[in-house]
Amino acid sequence: MDIPRIFNITESAHRIHNPFTPEKLATLGVALRLEAGTRVLDLGSGSGEMLCTWARDHGVVGTGIDMSRLFTEQAKLRAAELGVDAQVAFIHGDAAGYVAGDKVDVAACVGATWIGGGVAGTIDLLARSLRPGGIILIGEPFWRQLPPTEAVARGCLAHSITDFVMLPELLASFGQLGYDVVEMVLADQDGWDRYEAAKWLTMRRWLEANPDDELAHDVRAELNSEPVRYATYTREYLGWGVFALMPR
């Protein structure tokens, strides 16, 4: 079981697989007023940077589940590197339907809400692992500017304009699902650059090391087109943030 190999190639050097910088991740940890011993569940935990740094900085404990074998291995190495491997565990597997045995204080899905079939389904899934009074974290894109045409939405790698909403509508949708929005930290364009532009050097170096790989042609095509596509569309139109929710 694994995610499509192209992501394990293009994001192999990423510690954070979304437009958050280390500073934003730290800001979120402080904003949530995490205390030592806080139990965190992270569905789609990637390379584990959120759990590992929060374990180091705030003494949280918890579990991350991710379908990428590579990212999960990197998460375990990161935990050992930061000396928090007794506090956090990383499981390689499908997080769809995953419910924690013991309820957690913070249940998160940061940039992987397809795991629960969309934002509403992922909130429902996370809620099943949450203790009363706990916090759900959802990392999700929104439109910074509404795309004027469907072609612009597709340029952002969305299927349609209706894939995302503007920030006020996204916040309102959490209320409609019965949740208070109690905090949020938003990515900015510099953070988007760290997520997207970091793929380009990784792709270039991978191409030099793997010229005969069956994906070399695809990676070359992506490296040719991505900088201009990204600057034209995603960087201008797409926002991203992590939203902290508590059931009303």
Give the binding site for ligand SAH (CB under 6 A). Answer: 3, 16-18, 44-46, 49, 65-68, 71, 94-96, 110-112, 115
Q: What SS3 class is residue 61?
A: strand
For ligand SAH, the closer CB: 127 or 152 = 127
Nearer to ligand SAH, 16 or 60 (CB): 16
Contacts of 247 (CB under 8 A, 6+ apart): 127, 130, 178, 179, 180
The CB-of-80 to ligand SAH minimum distance in angstroms stands at 18
For ligand SAH, the closer CB: 58 or 78: 78
Q: Give 174's Cβ-side CA count (13 Å radius).
A: 24
Residue 56: CB minimum distance to ligand SAH, A: 16
Minimum separation from the CB atom of position 11 to ligand SAH (A): 8
Three-state SS for 108? strand
* Minimum distance, C-beta of residue 68 to ligand SAH, in the bound complex (Å): 3
Each as own residue / partner, the long-range contacts of residues 145-148 (CB below 8 Å, 24 or more positions apart, any chain) are: 145/236, 145/237, 147/237
Is the Cβ–Cβ distance between 125 and 99 less than 8 Å?
yes
Q: Which residue is at the shortest CB distance from ligand SAH?
A: 46
Question: What's the rounded Cα separation, in Å, for the pair 66 and 61?
Answer: 17
* CB nearer to ligand SAH: pick between 97 and 178: 97
Q: Are 108 and 126 in contact (CB under 8 A)?
A: yes
Rounded to a whole number of angstroms, the minimum distance from the CB of residue 50 to ligand SAH is 6
Give the residue with the Cβ less far from ligand SAH, 152 or 163: 163
